[in-house]
């Protein structure tokens, strides 16, 4: 499989559950990102990893916990979420973190619903 893949594509979880989102990129990139996309709001950057090191954390609540074991894989661990956390969570990768000349390649997203 090529590009950026995300699993699961859809997830419904209760507020007391613990779940994880997975992202994998097959592009040989060194940077990976998590974004949150809510209805009628601009895309929100959550976390940035460059060469497995976290370089950005945009004031994301601690109920979201990222993990980057290597440059190809990125996880988002979820626990005790709130209904307002329901959104499309997008993973992206690029050759380097936030280098302005590089575009980002996006996965299809995980549609998360918190009940």
Least distance in angstroms from the C-beta of 2 to another protein: 13
C-beta neighbour count of 35 within 10 angstroms: 21
Indicate which single residue of 45, 71, 72, 79 sits in contact with another protein (rule: CB under 8 A): 45
- Under the binding rule (CB under 8 A), the answer on residue 105 touching another protein is yes
Indicate which single residue of 21, 46, 74, 90 sits in contact with another protein (rule: CB under 8 A): 90
Least distance in angstroms from the C-beta of 81 to another protein: 21
Q: Which residue has the tokens 């940077």?
A: 31
C-beta neighbour count of 90 within 10 angstroms: 22
Least distance in angstroms from the C-beta of 98 to another protein: 4
- Under the binding rule (CB under 8 A), the answer on residue 95 touching another protein is no
Which residue from 19, 1, 3, 7 is spatially nearest to 114, judged by alpha carbons? 19
**Where on the chain is the footprint of another protein (CB under 8 A)?**
4, 6, 40-43, 45, 90, 92, 97-101, 103-109, 111
């Amino acid at each position: 499989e090529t590009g950026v893949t995300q699993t699961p594509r859809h997830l419904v979880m209760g507020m007391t559950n613990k779940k994880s989102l997975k992202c994998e990129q097959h592009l040989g990139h060194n940077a990976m990102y998590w974004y949150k996309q809510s209805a009628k709001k601009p895309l929100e950057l959550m976390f940035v990893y460059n060469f497995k090191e976290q370089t950005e954390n945009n004031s994301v609540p601690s109920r979201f916990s990222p993990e980057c074991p290597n440059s190809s894989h990125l996880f988002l661990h979820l626990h005790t979420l709130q209904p307002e956390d329901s959104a499309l969570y997008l993973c992206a990768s690029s050759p380097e973190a936030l280098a302005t000349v590089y575009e980002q390649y996006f996965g299809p997203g995980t549609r998360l619903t918190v009940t």
